[in-house]
């Protein structure tokens, strides 16, 4: 049994729902979960009508809504996992046990899928990348929408890295090599970006521990741990 989960909010819902319902998979083993976060009542009604259309064709579609948008897409996915009929998730193909082991969906960044994938990796789950599979995707309809999309995709990973650096550094499953890369990156960020910024922008003030002790400690640890 698998579940194809669709988080809907201003997307081209007909194409998304149609693609999920048209999967080449035994109908008795497929659940299409539509998580509709639409705030427009007219659009929400249209999405529900589209779901009913596929239900009448014999597809097991579950239409779910919320009375709030807490957590945005990650919040909707988190709520969707609480349903007893859910067996799998998206993006890609996830085992429900992997999602649970990693702590479920979190709304702390705009890249909830990357957040979940990193946490699952730290828990020891392995991933298989299928690079030769071509799928359709939806492009932003305007340049403004494209800029917003790229902004989210750029800021999201950076924000996630900031929040998970400690977890990655102290995870026993992460190799010493990867920890060294992170340590070197942090040192570079301090010496080449943060400290020069304090010189160029007088309003930026760093306390002594941040400006001296932390970079110095990281540098010493790098020197000690780096192979000759």
Mean pLDDT of 101-117: 87
122-155 confidence digits (pLDDT tens): 898 988 877 777 777 777 788 888 787 777 777 7
Mean pLDDT of 193-200: 73
Closest CA to 38 of 13, 3, 16: 13
36, 101, 107, 113: the catalytic one is 113
- Cα three-residue angle 177-210-212, rounded to 5 degrees: 85
What pLDDT, on a 0 to 100 scale, did the predictor assign at position 224? 59
Confidence of residue 191 (pLDDT cuts 50, 70, 90): low
Q: Is 132 an annotated catalytic residue?
A: no
Q: Report the run of H or E that residue 1 belongs to, with start and end.
A: none
Confidence of residue 88 (pLDDT cuts 50, 70, 90): very low
Burial of 42 (C-beta count, 10 Å sphere; 0-12/13-18/19+): exposed
Confidence of residue 158 (pLDDT cuts 50, 70, 90): confident
Confidence of residue 54 (pLDDT cuts 50, 70, 90): very high
Burial of 190 (C-beta count, 10 Å sphere; 0-12/13-18/19+): buried
> Which residues lie across from 99 on neighbouring strands?
none
Q: Report the run of H or E that residue 36 belongs to, with start and end.
A: strand 30-36
Confidence of residue 227 (pLDDT cuts 50, 70, 90): very low
Confidence of residue 211 (pLDDT cuts 50, 70, 90): low
What pLDDT, on a 0 to 100 scale, did the predictor assign at position 47? 94
Confidence of residue 57 (pLDDT cuts 50, 70, 90): very high
37, 88, 115, 132: the catalytic one is 37
Q: What is the pTM of this model?
A: 0.60
Q: Is 113 an annotated catalytic residue?
A: yes
What the block records as the tokens of 104 is 């479920």
What pLDDT, on a 0 to 100 scale, did the predictor assign at position 64? 92
């Amino acid at each position: 049994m698998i579940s194809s989960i669709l988080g809907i909010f201003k997307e081209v819902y007909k194409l998304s729902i149609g693609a999920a319902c048209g999967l080449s998979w035994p109908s008795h083993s497929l659940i299409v979960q539509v998580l509709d976060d639409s705030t427009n009542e007219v659009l929400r009604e249209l999405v529900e009508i589209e779901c009913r259309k596929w239900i009448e064709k014999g597809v097991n579609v579950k239409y779910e809504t919320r009375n709030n948008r807490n957590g945005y897409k990650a919040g909707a996915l988190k709520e969707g996992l609480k349903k007893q009929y859910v067996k799998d998730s998206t993006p890609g193909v996830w085992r429900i046990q992997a999602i649970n082991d990693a702590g479920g969906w979190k709304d702390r960044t705009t890249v909830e899928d990357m957040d979940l994938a990193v946490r699952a990796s730290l828990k020891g789950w392995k991933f298989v990348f299928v690079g030769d599979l071509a799928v359709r995707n939806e492009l932003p309809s305007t340049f403004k929408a494209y800029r917003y999309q790229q902004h989210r995709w750029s800021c999201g990973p950076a924000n996630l890295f900031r929040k998970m650096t400690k977890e990655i550094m102290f995870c026993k499953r992460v190799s010493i090599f990867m920890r060294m890369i992170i340590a070197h990156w942090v040192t570079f960020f301090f010496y080449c970006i943060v400290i020069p910024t304090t010189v160029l922008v007088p309003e930026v003030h760093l306390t002594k521990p941040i400006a001296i002790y932390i970079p110095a400690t990281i540098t010493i640890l790098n020197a000690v741990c780096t192979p000759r």
